[in-house]
Each structure stands twice: as C-alpha cells, then as structure tokens.
Structure 1
Amino acid sequence: MRRARAGAVAPVLLVAERQTAGRGRLGRPWHSTAQPGPAADASLTFSIGMPLAPADWSGLSLAVGVSVAESLDPGGSELRLKWPNDLWTTQDRKLSGILIETALPQAGAALRYLVIGIGINIGPREAAGLNTAPAWLQAFRPGVQAPQVLADVAPPLVRSVLGFAEHGFGAFAECFAARDALRGREVTLSDGDSGLCEGVGPGGELRVKTAAGLRSITSSEVSVRPAEGAGR
C-alpha cells in the first residue's frame, strides 16, 4: 500500500515464504512460518496488486472468494464461501482468508490501486488461538504443495478481477450462491443481532431476517457466524 500511495501502480505479485506480522480482516493477526521438513509448505500467503477502476466496488471480496474457491475446488464438493471473505469447508472449518484494500495513487486519480491478500492453509495447522477451527488443502488434494496452489489460483484470479471491473458482482452472484456457507442458517452478528440468513443481495450485501425485519449488512466492521447449533 505504501508503494501505491507513493505512485507505484504497476501490477505486482508478492509471495511471502514466512509471515509473522500479517493482518486479516478487523485487524486480526495472521502469521505463517516456513521451516525445514514436511511442514515447510504448510501455508501459502501472497498478495496481488493492480490498478482498477470498476463502476461499483460492491461485492469484490465475494467475487475474489468465488475465483479462489473455483480454482481450489472445481467440482464444488469441498469448499463454501463464508461472507464476506473466508473459504470454509463443508464442516465449517476455515481454509483461507482474504483481505482487500485500496489506495489512491494520487489525488483526483480516476482509478485506485487494489491489493488482494490471501492466506491458504496447505498442510495441517494447529487450532490453538484461532476463532475458527482450521482446514487444510491437502485433506482433499493429497500431496499438493504451495507452488502448485499459487499457479492454480493467481492467473484465474487476475482474470476474475478484470471481469469484475467490467461486469460487477452480478457475473459472480450465481456461483457465490451455490457455495454460500450461511444461506438458510441461523446466524449471530458481532453487534448482538441475530436471525436467518437469506443469502446476499445484488451488491454482495448480506441479508439477515431478524425479529425487526430484513436487514442488509454491508459494513466490514460487522462479523457474522452461524448460530450455536445451526445446521449446515
């Protein structure tokens, strides 16, 4: 982001072999460590930066999630999308997280510089200290390693982002709905509200039917989880 604010807007792919001060959504920490032996490729963390000027940014994180899920699980049997930016397995375990940020390269610029950060668990990971139990890719893609995952995910992701800039979230809405981890389930919100999730709206906003009526949630400052005991 510092590079973009300084005016460097060339597309870039950055891959972290070891990350100890990563940052996820709502400021949550993310770290990965490279070490000798079988655990060397236990995770993959990378960022894609590129200039972009879509007519509407709404739903971008969902479109990114769709692209990553389709690349990792083309058949659709293993991965679900948990609004707004996580990939979960069908057992509600977290495989991947996505963080999206933008910066204005210069005052009055027509485009913004987009940075997409993605962390993917490749091999087994300890659950200690995590809000959601972890999943890992090798559980359903045995033997896969980080370089192959990067090759599988990054090129389609760039194409998807360019497609989003041209067509908006509508081009991804059907695929998101097919993998929606929350639709049809009772959910609780971090602001204390709760209700039945009715999927997402045309702009990627989460729709929750609460006791007070239908609520559309767009704020990235509100987190949502399945209610205790809510079925999948």
Structure 2
Amino acid sequence: MKNHAHRIAGFCLGPAQQVHIQVVEETGSTNADLLARVGSLQSPVLLIAERQTAGRGRAGRTWLSAPGASLTFSLAWKFALPLQSMVGLPLAVGVALAEALAELGVGVRLKWPNDVLHEGGKLAGILIETAGVDGDTQSCWAVIGIGINLMLDPEMAAQIGRPVAHVPQLTERDRDELMAALLNALAQAAVLFERQGFGAFAERWNGLHAYAGQPVFILDQGKVLHEGAAIGVDGSGRFLLDTSAGRTAVMAGDVSLRVREA
C-alpha cells in the first residue's frame, strides 16, 4: 500500500503535492476514519480504501463497493473559512470531479446537489462532512468523500436499486495515475473555493447541469416541497427552479431532486 501512495504522490501537481496520501486495503468508512483524526491533522490527507465495508452516502444511505470495482476515497482539507461558508463546497467538488473525468475521456453531467451522472445513471457520489477547529471560528476541516463506480456487476446493480452507471474503460488506466488526476483537480478546487467561494464555480456547474429546463420535483423525505422547471444554481449554490408561484431558490440540506417523467 505504501508503494501505491508513493506512486500517486509522484503524479501530483501544484497544491496536491502538500497532501499526505495513505492507502489501506480495507476500512469501514474513509470519511469516518478522517473525521476521527481531524483534531490531530497538521496538513491535508487523502485516504484511499481498496474496499469499504460501511461506506456512506447522503441522508444515511449506504455506498456499496467491491474490491477493484470502484474508487473510494476521502480528502481531509482545512479551510480558512467559517463553517457556514462551506455550503457550496459539494457542488464545487462536483465540478472538479466532472472536469477531471472529462479530461480522462468520460463525459458526465451533474445532478444537484451532489451526484455525478454518466449516460443517465449515477456514476459517482459525494459526501462532505465538516468539523470545527477548537478556538478558531474562522477555520474548519472538510472531509470530502467520493465513490466512483468503475465496474458494476448485475447483482450489485440490483442491490443498489436505482439507475447507476460505470466506466470500465477507466480500469484500463494506471490506477495510481488516475487517482492522482482526481486529487490534482480536487486540490485545485479546494484552493479556489477558499479564495473565491462557490461563485467561482457556479457558471461551470450550470454548464454541466443534467436537467436544465426540465420539469423536476424537490423532495424532502418523500414529500414534494417544490415543483417546476429546473434552471440551475446561483452563486451561493442554491438550486433555482421556476414554479407556478415564480422563481424559487432551494438550499440543499437533505432534500432530493427527481425528474418528472413525461
């Protein structure tokens, strides 16, 4: 595992070079592991697991993965920003991930607030958890968890129970070089987000929006909160839709977006 970490570091550029990289064979959750350590971290850390046994998604969902069939990793990054300024970070990470995958030849679109889609199915998920810094209200840690489906067998697809996608062509690439390309994009995005906030990413996100102009529902625990035409996001990461009552801006929280079937 140390050899993989060393090789990944060798492909890193710019701000990614300050990240300490660790690779483990198996763990419960890379996010949980890093969250438990943020009080003692001195610099950014990337934790990659060949297999997660208790991977998590938004709203307490389970992220299923199999050895070699996915990339599952978390990046702990300290921001010189108060916790309330982190609202748009999941969307900024989505932009970075989508653009990095495009450079690797994988065309993707973004679904608000934090899904990466490929050919209509979910290819990757993002879970960001934050932690304050003792005695410093102007700084916080973000643990950015990402899972990407590389290969997906029919049995696991059936377990997931919703449209999913995979990109088996990426398994033909050097896995360490692939991981470094993603880390380079994420580290650059983290630096830009700290300096300029989500406003620096809003136009890029809207250019990748999967459902622009389409009729959608915004759900909260299965209850429809809003219904209208999807517009995109504003400079703070709120989702905009045109409803019968006019334009509405929705914060992420634990709400979900669904496309209205024709």
TM-score (norm 2): 0.77
Name stretches of at least 5 consecutive residues in structure 2 with no aligned partner.
Answer: 1-34
Q: Percent of pairs identical after alignment?
A: 40
The answer to which structure has the higher helix fraction is 2
* Correspondence for 2:131 among 98, 103, 107: 103
Aligned partner letter, 1:128: A
Do the aligned residues in 1 keep the contact of 2:123 with 2:165 (CA within 8 Å)?
A: yes
Distance 2:47 2:91 in 1: 21
2:213 alignment counterpart = 184
Name stretches of at least 5 consecutive residues in structure 1 with no aligned partner.
Answer: 35-40
Q: SS at the partner of 2:53? A: strand
Distance 1:196 1:21 in 2: 36
Distance 1:93 1:48 in 2: 24
Structure 1 runs, 4 residues or longer, greater than 6 Å off: none
Distance 2:255 2:218 in 1: 7
Q: Does 1:26 align with 2:65?
A: no
Superimposed CA distance per residue, residues 115-165 of structure 1 (whole angstroms, 9 cap, x where no aligned partner): 0000001123432132531111225x5723543321210122111111111
**After superposition, where does 1:67-216 map in structure 2 within 5 Å?**
67-74=96-103, 78-89=107-118, 91-126=119-154, 127-138=157-168, 141=170, 143-144=172-173, 146-190=175-219, 191-192=223-224, 193-216=226-249
Q: SS at the partner of 2:46? A: strand
* Correspondence for 1:53 among 41, 59, 80: 80
Closer/same/farther in 2, CA of residues 180 and 125 from structure 1, 3 Å limit: farther
Q: SS at the partner of 1:196? A: strand
Do the aligned residues in 2 keep the contact of 1:122 with 1:144 (CA within 8 Å)?
A: no
Do the aligned residues in 2 keep the contact of 1:189 with 1:224 (CA within 8 Å)?
A: yes
Q: Does 1:217 align with 2:250?
A: yes
Closer/same/farther in 2, CA of residues 123 and 77 from structure 1, 3 Å limit: closer
Closer/same/farther in 2, CA of residues 54 and 111 from structure 1, 3 Å limit: closer
TM-score (norm 1): 0.87
